[in-house]
């Protein structure tokens, strides 16, 4: 999995560096509405900003690791196993966090970037590109999810037919060896039914496992894009008044978002190596974005037209992915499933957990 996503991450970093290079090559003074914090103002301090960024990198890294690893290690606790009610409530809370991230953090950032006065009014102010790209990203995610399950189902049906035929032939030959025609017919039917049932159950489990793995891959991609973008903006900023509350907000943000991703990784049934790779990529993306912003401080400008367009479109696509994954793959799949449908109290507790998760991220939108 990690190797298939590596080219996408490299392409994303290339786009960010390209945007920074374009900002450096544009020596024209932007209009006053395009400027950031005033240089020399009370909040502008290169030394204090650098100190806060160096604190933020290990703090956010530790919070990310703690959040994503908590569900992975909690399975040794009986109450927090994936088949338990408490795990469903915690997962609902984390899904609410992911939903709040998409609606309250990522999508508004995309609107702000793509409607910035630094961009020409035509076409950016004449068409809602942020909502359009988010919609396309959600539909594209649905198409990928559906196609992958279709290909898997076709392959499973072929294997099921061959397995049933094998069981039937075996039962038929064994009965004739005993010289019992009636027993042959009965054993053939029973063997075929038993073989078909076993294969069908196995295919259902494999299909669910594949679905969980698709969820993990797409969800992590949406989170990674947003994490690098927000880390880049923080790393390039010299505004202490902005960075200080952002450090605390991002720590909570990454921890709760990691809990949602960690629960999905646990249900995907990955091996130790793949789990480690997923945890590594999630935990290091925001610190990497901050470090990249530090390295590009002299050349990166978040008010550059190219930077605004690239970051705005990436945020819009990330928002569409997060909306689809949170609502369809995580919340709808659990709430329409037998566990919550058969327990009204658990369903109400999960609903409250969603509101708490989404509400918490909505409050954090004031700072992050």
What pLDDT was estimated at residue 311? 84
pLDDT in tens, 12-24: 555 555 544 444 4
Q: Is the pLDDT of residue 261 over 90?
A: no
Q: Is the pLDDT of residue 4 over 60?
A: no
What pLDDT was estimated at residue 255? 86
Reported as a pLDDT band with limits 50, 70 and 90, residue 177 is very low
Mean pLDDT along residues 339-362: 92
Residue ranges of the alpha helices (H) in the chain? 2-25, 46-74, 85-100, 107-114, 121-124, 129-178, 181-236, 240-268, 272-295, 305-324, 333-335, 338-341, 344-364
What pLDDT was estimated at residue 166? 52
* C-alpha to C-alpha distances, 66 to 52, 61, 221, 272, 330, nearest whole angstrom: 21, 9, 19, 17, 21
Reported as a pLDDT band with limits 50, 70 and 90, residue 10 is low
Mean pLDDT along residues 212-220: 81
What pLDDT was estimated at residue 173? 42
Mean pLDDT along residues 117-133: 91
- The answer to whether residues 262 and 68 touch, using CB atoms and an 8 Å cutoff, is yes
Mean pLDDT along residues 177-196: 48
- What CA–CA distance (Å, rounded) separates 65 from 10? 22
Reported as a pLDDT band with limits 50, 70 and 90, residue 293 is confident
pLDDT in tens, 137-165: 999 888 877 887 777 667 656 555 555 45
Mean pLDDT along residues 308-336: 87
DSSP-assigned letter for residue 29: P
Q: 44 — phi, psi (to 5°)?
A: -95, 115
Ranking 26-30, 115-119, 147-151, 293-297 by mean pLDDT, the lowest is 26-30
- The answer to whether residues 183 and 175 touch, using CB atoms and an 8 Å cutoff, is yes
What pLDDT was estimated at residue 21? 47
Mean pLDDT along residues 288-312: 83
What pLDDT was estimated at residue 202? 58
Ranking 19-28, 162-171, 186-195, 261-270 by mean pLDDT, the lowest is 19-28
Mean pLDDT along residues 320-335: 86
Mean pLDDT along residues 300-316: 83
pLDDT in tens, 44-95: 788 888 899 999 999 999 999 998 888 888 767 776 677 778 888 888 998 8
What pLDDT was estimated at residue 161? 56
Q: Is the pLDDT of residue 286 over 50?
A: yes
What pLDDT was estimated at residue 298? 75
Mean pLDDT along residues 214-236: 82
Ranking 190-194, 255-259, 324-328 by mean pLDDT, the lowest is 190-194
């Amino acid at each position: 999995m990690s190797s298939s996503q590596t080219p996408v991450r490299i392409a994303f970093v290339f786009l960010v560096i390209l945007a920074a290079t374009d900002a450096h090559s544009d020596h024209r003074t932007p209009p006053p509405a395009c400027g950031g914090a005033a240089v020399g103002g009370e909040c502008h301090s290169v030394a204090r900003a650098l100190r806060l960024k160096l604190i933020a990198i290990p703090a956010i890294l530790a919070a990310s690791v703690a959040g994503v690893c908590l569900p992975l290690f909690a399975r040794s606790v009986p109450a927090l196993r994936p088949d338990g009610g408490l795990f469903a409530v915690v997962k609902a809370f984390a899904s609410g966090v992911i939903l709040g991230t998409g609606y309250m953090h990522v999508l508004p950032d995309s609107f702000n970037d793509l409607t910035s006065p630094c961009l020409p009014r035509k076409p950016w102010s004449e068409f809602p590109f942020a909502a359009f790209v988010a919609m396309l990203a959600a539909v594209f995610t649905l198409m990928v999810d559906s196609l992958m399950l279709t290909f898997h189902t076709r392959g499973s049906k072929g294997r099921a037919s061959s397995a049933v035929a094998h069981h039937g032939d075996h039962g038929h030959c064994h009965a004739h060896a005993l010289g019992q025609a009636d027993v042959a017919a009965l054993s053939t039917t029973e063997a075929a039914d038993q073989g078909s049932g076993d294969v069908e159950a196995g295919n259902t489990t494999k299909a669910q496992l594949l679905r969980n793995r698709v969820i993990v891959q797409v969800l992590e991609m949406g989170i990674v894009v947003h994490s690098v973008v927000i880390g880049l903006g923080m790393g390039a900023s010299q505004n202490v008044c902005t960075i200080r509350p952002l450090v605390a907000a991002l720590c909570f943000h990454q921890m709760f978002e990691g809990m949602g991703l960690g629960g999905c990784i646990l249900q995907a049934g990955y091996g130790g190596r793949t789990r480690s790779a997923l945890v590594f990529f999630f935990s290091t993306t925001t610190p990497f974005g901050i470090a990249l912003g530090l390295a590009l401080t002299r050349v990166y400008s978040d008010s550059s037209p190219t930077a605004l367009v690239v970051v705005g479109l990436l945020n819009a696509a990330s928002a569409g992915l997060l909306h689809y994954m949170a609502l369809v793959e995580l919340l709808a799949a659990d709430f329409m499933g037998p566990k919550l449908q058969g327990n009204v109290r658990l369903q109400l507790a999960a609903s409250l957990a969603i509101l708490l998760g989404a509400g918490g991220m909505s409050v954090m939108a004031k700072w992050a």
